[in-house]
Amino acid sequence: MASRFKFSVEPMAYTVPQTAAALQVTTAHIYNLIQRGLVRTVRLGACRRIPLTEVRRLAGLEDSNDAS
C-alpha cells in the first residue's frame, strides 16, 4: 500500500556544480574557494561534497562562526 504522505528531504551535501548553481557562480569559483581552504568539503569515496551548512554560510544565511 502506497503512503499518502510525501516527504521532502533536503540534501545534506551538494556537488560542486549544484553549489555553484545555487549560489549563481561558476564551478571554477567554487573550486578556487575549496583550493584556498575557504570552503569545507567532505569526501565520499571518489566524490567531493559540500555540506549544506557550508552552502548556507556561503549564501550568507548562517554565521561564519557556526561552521567549525
Inter-helix orientation angle 16-23/27-35, to 10°: 110
With a cut of 90, say whether residue 62 has pLDDT above it: no
Question: Does residue 67 lie in a domain region?
Answer: no
With a cut of 60, say whether residue 50 has pLDDT above it: yes
Question: Does residue 39 lie in a domain region?
Answer: yes
Question: Does residue 37 lie in a domain region?
Answer: yes
CA neighbor of 50 nearest in space, from 17, 13, 20, 24: 13
**What's 67's DSSP letter?**
-
For 1-17, what is the mean pLDDT?
79
Q: How many domains does the chain have?
A: 1
With a cut of 70, say whether residue 7 has pLDDT above it: no
Question: Does residue 64 lie in a domain region?
Answer: no
* 52's grid cell: 549544506
With a cut of 70, say whether residue 3 has pLDDT above it: no
Domain ranges, residue 31: 13-58
Percentages (nearest 5) of helix, strand, coil residues in the chain: 35, 15, 50
pLDDT digits (tens, 9 = 90+) for 38-48: 999 999 899 99
